Amino acid sequence: MKRKRRTEILIEGDPSLAKELSEMILHKYRCKELVAPRQGMTMVKMRETAKNSLFYIGEVLITEAKVEVMDHIGAGIVVGIKEELAKQLAIIDAAYKAALPETEEWGKKLMEEEQRIKQAKIQEQEELLKTKVLFETMDV
Amino acid sequence: MGYVAVKGGTNAIEASIERIKYERIKDMEVVSVETILSSMRLLVDQVMSEASLYSPYLAALAIKQAEGSMEEAVFLLRAHRSTLPRLYYSRTVDPYEMFVERRISASFKDIPGGQLLGATHDYTHRLLDFQLLSETKQDLENWLAQYSAEKLPRATRNEITHYPKVVEYLRAEGLFETYEADNTSPDDVTKYSLQFPASRSERLQILTRGQTGAITSLGYASLRGYGQVHPTVGEVRVGRLPIYVSLENSEMTDPEDDYYLGEIKVTEVESFVPVTKKKNTNEHEIEFEIGYGVCYGQNETKAIAMSILDQCLEHPEESFATHDEEFVLLHVDSVESTGFISHLKLPHYVTFQSKLDSVRRVKQGGTENES
């Protein structure tokens, strides 16, 4: 599973999943902390829809961590102040980069979580649809 | 005339700082950051937007520390921002990817996907709700249980809906100009001092981090005749946008290898503005242009006012201050404007004494130029 998809699942999904996967690696491999979880910023570049040009809307606070597992460096980056999650994401990232055998078993779990996230979003949309206006033309 | 160093205020300043803490806590009521986060959502949004740092938690902390003063909270968050390293630049955020929580149009009744009111104060009675005085946590639990049990429908669809933009529907009809994607790297007003004429990216960056009141007032002034823009709101959207970064520092890397960071909530507005254009045949024709507004959080008044000012600044007019980018861009920043006004509280003893001396000499029959 590509990084974009799996990081979205791990960040939007149940926090216990990232914890569980990272602990599987920690129990079996040596993990060296290269960058302890720290706060920083990401400047957000955006495309505006009037002239189709780019501009910076502002910065977003993030937490970043970096670790090394089996000679592969992994990074964990997440919006907000989430030190544990950033480190767990970094461990999982390093595990994928090192192509550790454990990662081969993670696909099913990640896809199940992805489905739960999708259902939760569909449910949220359904709830918001209650506020959809149903216009009726009045006879005057 | 030079500056004169004075001392003697240290003890008074220390006592004053203790006094401001005393004022905050003297009634023995503790408001937690979590309470501010949960119950003052729109205030948190405004602080993040004006501070230009998206962090609901730190914005709530700033509100607590500032005793609810907007300008102080924005100053605190902006100051904290200056202590943090900028680690990454995001991939270009595409507003079409928004998870829409609210979208309305004042231009069309029937828009593809429909009008979704979402959460808004627009249709509430502006009467004080005295029941809130006795609101308890149990009341909240009861209301939420009833709301989710009786009122919320269960989803029957299998896919997440992405709402098309109203403007795309008009572009497809050829009523609005279509622009090729301009991938010019944006300028960054936090890195370089603003020079005039400003680029479009600088204008949008300054407006989106502008003080809500200032942006609203100048947009309102334009509507009232101190400008030439009176738009119809094409679409207001409130929703969440995903943020991605690539560690490879190149737009050429596979986007599927990006890191997903999380979401930010924004308000986005496209305003439709009629403009008269001269055609090749020398005839005048009315066309529509788009004023663009966007800001962190849910702050629709600011985003709409920004869309008015964006359009004003696209068409400079000497006779209107709201079309003058130096006037608008140099006066809408919260920290700059409140800071400069506040500096008037600082000692001006020497400069004022000098002015007094001049007045005294004139009153005594001398001239200002006497030594």
The Cα–Cα gap between B64 and B31 comes to 7
What amino acid occupies position A3?
R
- Domain assignment of residue A42, yes or no: yes
Span of B43-47, B82-86, B273-277, B314-318 with lowest mean pLDDT: B273-277
**Best-predicted range by mean pLDDT among A99-113, B143-157, B158-172?**
A99-113
Question: Angle B41-51/B70-81 helices, nearest 10 degrees?
Answer: 50
- Domain assignment of residue A139, yes or no: no
- Domain assignment of residue B128, yes or no: no
Cross-chain CB nearest to A60 (options B92, B95, B243): B243
Reported as type and span, the H/E element at residue B14 is: helix B10-25
- Report the alpha-carbon angle B172-B176-B182, nearest 5: 95
Q: Given this model, what pLDDT does residue B273 score?
A: 92
Which of the 8 DSSP states describes residue B199? P
Other C-beta atoms lying within 10 Å of the C-beta of residue B89: 18
* Residue finishing a domain among B28, B58, B81: B81
Residue B257's domain spans which residues?
Answer: 95-119+159-179+192-332
**Claim to verify: residue B326 and residue B291 sit in the same structural domain:** yes
CA of residue B367 relative to chain centroid, distance: 51
- Domain assignment of residue B36, yes or no: yes
The Cα–Cα gap between A111 and A117 comes to 10
Cross-chain CB nearest to B201 (options A54, A75, A128): A54
**Claim to verify: residue B77 and residue B196 sit in the same structural domain:** no
**Claim to verify: residue B221 and residue B293 sit in the same structural domain:** yes
**Claim to verify: residue B290 and residue B322 sit in the same structural domain:** yes
**Claim to verify: residue B170 and residue B40 sit in the same structural domain:** no
Nearest of A35, A23, A95, A24 to residue A63 by alpha carbon: A35
**Claim to verify: residue B243 and residue B113 sit in the same structural domain:** yes
**Claim to verify: residue B40 and residue B175 sit in the same structural domain:** no
Cross-chain CB nearest to A58 (options B155, B200, B208): B208
pLDDT tens for A84-106 read 999 999 999 999 999 999 999 99
pLDDT higher than threshold 80 for residue B155: no
- Domain assignment of residue A137, yes or no: no
**Claim to verify: residue B65 and residue B165 sit in the same structural domain:** no
Asked if the Cβ–Cβ distance from B266 to A45 is below 8 Å, we say no
Provide mean pLDDT across the span A36-41: 98
The Cα–Cα gap between B204 and B294 comes to 9
Nearest CA in chain A to B148: A127
pLDDT higher than threshold 50 for residue B249: yes
Number of domains in chain B: 2
Distance from CA of B231 to the nearest CA of A (A): 14
| Tokens 């003893």 sit on residue | B349
Number of domains in chain A: 1
pLDDT higher than threshold 50 for residue B371: no
Those residues with Cβ within 8 angstroms of residue A58's Cβ, 6 or more apart along the chain or in another chain: A43, A44, B49, B52, B53, B54, B205, B208, B209, B296
pLDDT tens for B213-229 read 999 999 999 999 999 88
Mean pLDDT of chain B: 92
Q: Given this model, what pLDDT does residue B325 score?
A: 96
Asked if the Cβ–Cβ distance from A132 to B117 is below 8 Å, we say yes
The pair phi, psi for residue B294, each rounded to 5°, is -155, 145
Which chain B residues touch A12 with a CB distance below 8 Å? 262
**Claim to verify: residue B276 and residue B202 sit in the same structural domain:** yes
Nearest CA in chain A to B270: A50
- Domain assignment of residue B292, yes or no: yes
pLDDT higher than threshold 80 for residue B5: no
Nearest CA in chain A to B153: A127
pLDDT tens for B125-134 read 999 999 999 9
pLDDT tens for B284-313 read 888 889 999 999 999 999 999 999 999 999
Q: Given this model, what pLDDT does residue B366 score?
A: 62
Nearest of A108, A115, A119, A120 to residue A1 by alpha carbon: A108
**Claim to verify: residue B273 and residue B235 sit in the same structural domain:** yes
Residue A44, Cβ density class (10 Å: 0-12 exposed, 13-18 middle, ≥19 buried): buried
- For residue B157, the SS3 value is coil
Q: Give which of A1, A4, A83 to mutate to test B binding, by max B Cβ within 10 Å.
A: A4
Nearest CA in chain A to B51: A58
CB-based contact B307:B271 (threshold 8 Å): yes
**Claim to verify: residue B64 and residue B173 sit in the same structural domain:** no
Q: A with B: how many residue pairs have Cβ under 8 Å apart?
A: 226
Q: ipTM of the assembly?
A: 0.96
**pTM exceeds 0.80, yes or no:** yes
Nearest CA in chain A to B163: A125
Residue A52's domain spans which residues?
Answer: 3-131
The β-bridge relationship of strands B99-104 and A54-69 is unpaired
The Cα–Cα gap between B169 and A30 comes to 56
Torsion of CA B180, B183, B184, B186, to 10 degrees: 120
Asked if the Cβ–Cβ distance from A11 to B118 is below 8 Å, we say no
Cross-chain CB nearest to B292 (options A42, A49, A119): A49
Which chain A residues touch B205 with a CB distance below 8 Å? 55-58
Asked if the Cβ–Cβ distance from A11 to B180 is below 8 Å, we say no
CA-to-CA separations, B288 to A63, A85, A100, B206, B207, in angstroms, rounded: 43, 48, 57, 25, 22
Those residues with Cβ within 8 angstroms of residue B310's Cβ, 6 or more apart along the chain or in another chain: A50, B203, B204, B207, B291, B292, B293
Cross-chain CB nearest to A41 (options B86, B160, B244): B86
- Domain assignment of residue A136, yes or no: no
The Cα–Cα gap between A87 and B277 comes to 57
